[in-house]
Chain A
Amino acid sequence: MDFLKRAAFVLGGIFLGINLINYFVMGHTGDYLPGGERMGEWRAAKIREACYPALESPERDGLLPKLSTDTHRVDWRDLDRARDMTAALNCYLVTHPNAVCERNNRAYIVDYINRYFAKFDEMMNTAKRYGEAEMSTVRKLWDSPRNRAINAALLQDTSSGRLIKADFGWSVPTAMKPMLDRYNGTNDNCPKA
């Protein structure tokens, strides 16, 4: 009995360890999205390379997130990440509105949407420690014209069935739940190939 417990612990540890490394160290969160007809292979998404130019010099884009005050506790790495993620997602959803219709791109974009909202949540959680003023600074940071365009595109994509709740599996971002629930069951209006 003791032997079985030990063996189960070891095998479980290996399985869990490999998946934890893949998810948290390698950052391959896309591997854990649901499969099926709608979702392809995120590694094969062409939109990723197509949007590299948008990420070349985000500091020149005045419409990307910027801090509204000098008295804040936002780490520069978080600030850079917020800018980069906004620039990328803006390119995936706004500059190339039909990219999400291709199944490999959809898998990659869904994964990126999860990361985008996770970063916002992480920054808000950090800001909570400092009180309402800091939370307001972070909220304003993520409310740039590009962020607003992304929100509009997300609403458009969910209302037209291009993104549905099932695409996100168990990891639906809290901010997207209401709109995904509202338009649940909508058939997508993607152009047929």
Chain B
Amino acid sequence: MAGEIFSLIRMPLIAFVGGFLVVGGWIWAPELWRMVHSQFSGGSSVSMFAGANRIGRPEVAPVVRTCFSKVMDDLGPDVKKMEPSAAYFILKAGSMQANVSAMLGKERGESPAAHLAYAWGELASCIYALEDRALCDPDNRAAAVETTAKFFGYAKQAADSGAKSMVPGNDGRAIENIRDRLLLMLKNHRRYGTLVAADFGSFAPAEIMQVMRSEQKETRDICKR
């Protein structure tokens, strides 16, 4: 089946990329030539991946391993038996599915955004509740960044769709509580130097960037101790 699909799209794909190369190459050839030349001639260049070592792979983070079993009770016993990196992937895949459903225009009130916000928020809360220096590890830091960003993203979606009543425990304030807790944790970790604004990239939810970019009188880097 997959082979058939590949054979079907192979030629159009090659034609598309070929076309892109023809047009793009014609327009950008002189610039690319100069850029490649400057890279190999010892000229000054700025790394496109500055600070890339700060963020690792969230799915294999030890904090995910520790926290997943604690906070994912409602996913059932099968998920508990899984490798945590696989369970994390499933949560991400579920989130993607929810995004697709939202794009396809599901009715108001059916949005699973509140459930997802709750799940990601609980996971993020558990990660921040561990030792502060745990976030010095790039994988752990990546997990903290991703879970926080996902929480705020889905919390906004849930607020927009008015689906607060779907939060487990029938407590409409659960998400607000998690939000307050996470914002406080973000402030702390910003002060410790374990998290910086650049860790969240350019498209992070506004609430996160507000905290991460706010003026801070004193900061220290506990990872350098």
Residues of A within 8 A of B (CB): 5-6, 9-10, 13-14, 17-18, 21, 25-26, 70-77, 79
Q: Is the Cβ of B29 less than 8 Å from the Cβ of A9?
A: yes
B26 within 8 A of A: yes
* Bound CA–CA A109/B18 (angstroms): 31
Rank and list the top 10 A-B pairs by shortest CB-CB distance, nearest first: A76-B86, A13-B21, A76-B83, A73-B60, A9-B29, A10-B25, A76-B85, A13-B25, A17-B21, A14-B18
| Structural contact, A18 and B29, CB atoms closer than 8 A | no
What is the bound-complex CA distance between A13 and B60, given in angstroms?
37
Task: State whether A73 and B139 are in contact (beta carbons under 8 Å apart), knowing that A10-B22, A26-B6 are contacts in the complex.
Answer: yes
For chain B, residues 20 to 64, give those with C-beta under 8 angstroms from any C-beta of chain A. Answer: 21-22, 25-26, 29, 32-33, 57, 59-60, 62
Q: In which size bucket is the chain B interface? A: 20 to 34
Q: How far is the CB of A184 from chain B (nearest CB, A)?
A: 36
Judge whether B18 and A17 touch: CB under 8 Å. yes
Nearest-neighbour CB distance to chain A for B216, whole angstroms, equals: 30
Stretch at the interface among B9-17, B118-126, B173-181: B9-17
B contact residues around A75 at 8 Å (CB): 57, 59-60, 85
Q: How far is the CB of A22 from chain B (nearest CB, A)?
A: 8
Contact A10 B60 (CB under 8 A): no
Binding site for A on B (CB under 8 A): 6, 10, 13-14, 17-18, 21-22, 25-26, 29, 32-33, 57, 59-60, 62, 65, 82-83, 85-86, 89, 139
Instruction: Report the Cα distance A18→B15, complex, angstroms.
Output: 9
Q: A114–B26 Cα gap in the complex (Å)?
A: 37
Q: How far is the CA of A26 from the CA of B5 in the complex (A)?
A: 12
- Please tell me if the beta carbons of B25 and A21 are within 8 angstroms of each other in the complex: no
Q: Which residues of A contact B60 (CB under 8 A)?
A: 72-75
* Chain A residues whose C-beta falls within 8 Å of the C-beta of B32 in the assembled complex: 9
A-B contacts, 26 listed (Cβ < 8 Å):
A6-B25, A6-B26, A6-B29, A9-B25, A9-B29, A13-B21, A14-B21, A14-B22, A18-B14, A21-B13, A21-B17, A25-B13, A26-B6, A26-B10, A70-B65, A71-B62, A72-B60, A74-B85, A75-B57, A76-B82, A76-B83, A76-B85, A76-B89, A77-B85, A77-B89, A79-B83
